[in-house]
Chain A
Amino acid sequence: TQLLEQSPQFLSIQEGENLTVYCNSSSVFSSLQWYRQEPGEGPVLLVTVVTGGEVKKLKRLTFQFGDARKDSSLHITAAQTGDTGLYLCAGAPSSNYQLIWGAGTKLIIKP
């Protein structure tokens, strides 16, 4: 059974601070996605990474895919209160139709 370990599961920091969320696995993924979810809404895709070592930036968010395509990180610079939400990583083991989900990181940014 493939697993995707996401950490931390909960993070509460002050506005302006930096943070990093990690997703790790012993398995290789053909792609890995990061989602942000608001309460009562569906997950919204932030980024998909597919190439080992790939780094993608989305404004203050930086996403990295490990060289071996087994792990990924999300780094937020100068967090804002609008970044508050549940962040989920999800890996596609191959080009089939299923996703392996991390447990999620509940992020709270305090003003």
Chain B
Amino acid sequence: DTEVTQTPKHLVMGMTNKKSLKCEQHMGHRAMYWYKQKAKKPPELMFVYSYEKLSINESVPSRFSPECPNSSLLNLHLHALQPEDSALYLCASSPGGGTYTFGSGTRLTVV
């Protein structure tokens, strides 16, 4: 298995909802990432998990809460989001050494 799987592919949520994005990889990669991407822009790093521990939080608002239950899974819990949080949310994994595999993303719309 050489893929990063993200679910759901599309999500529409209200500003008072709580939802979660899921990411899974079975490549044994030790680092996993959440990125946010706006249209026609490069991905912006949000969080990095290394060996299941949060190693980088790029000053992301607390309405985004990451979780790494085990070495294969990465979640992003969403609560009280704003319309400007609408974007493509990408998960990626890496074994280290500059090689990354991206999932196909979750297209999030906050209404």
Instruction: Please list the residues of chain A having a beta carbon within 8 angstroms of any beta carbon in chain B.
Output: 30-31, 33, 35, 40-45, 48, 50, 86, 88, 90, 92, 95, 97-99, 101-104, 106
A43 to B92, CA, bound (A): 10
Cβ contact within 8 Å between A31 and B42: no
Indicate with 1 or 0, residue by residue over B23-64, a CB within 8 angstroms of chain A CB atoms: 000000001010000001111010010100001100000000
Interface centre among B48, B50, B90, B102 (most CB of A within 10 A): B102
Instruction: Please list the residues of chain B having a beta carbon within 8 angstroms of any beta carbon in chain A.
Output: 4, 6, 31, 33, 40-43, 45, 48, 50, 55-56, 88, 90, 92, 94, 96-105, 107
For B32, give the chain A residue with the smallest CB separation: A97
Cβ contact within 8 Å between A104 and B41: yes
B1 smallest CB distance to A (angstroms): 16
Contact of B43 among A92, A95, A101 (CB under 8 A): A101
Q: Which residues of A contact B40 (CB under 8 A)?
A: 86, 104, 106
Q: Which residues of B contact A45 (CB under 8 A)?
A: 100-102
Contact of A40 among B50, B96, B102, B107 (CB under 8 A): B107
For B89, give the chain A residue with the smallest CB separation: A42
A50 to B101, CA, bound (A): 17
A65 smallest CB distance to B (angstroms): 12
Cβ contact within 8 Å between B42 and A97: no
Q: A42-B90, A45-B101 are in contact. Are A95 and B96 (CB under 8 A)?
A: yes
Q: Which residues of B contact A98 (CB under 8 A)?
A: 45, 48, 56
Q: Which residues of B contact A88 (CB under 8 A)?
A: 42
For B107, give the chain A residue with the smallest CB separation: A40
Cβ contact within 8 Å between B100 and A41: no
Contact of B104 among A41, A50, A90, A106 (CB under 8 A): A41
The 10 residue pairs across chains A and B that have the minimum distance between CB atoms = A92-B98, A101-B42, A31-B98, A42-B102, A42-B105, A42-B104, A97-B31, A43-B102, A42-B90, A41-B104
Interface centre among A31, A92, A98 (most CB of B within 10 A): A98
Cβ contact within 8 Å between B102 and A104: no
Cβ contact within 8 Å between A50 and B98: yes
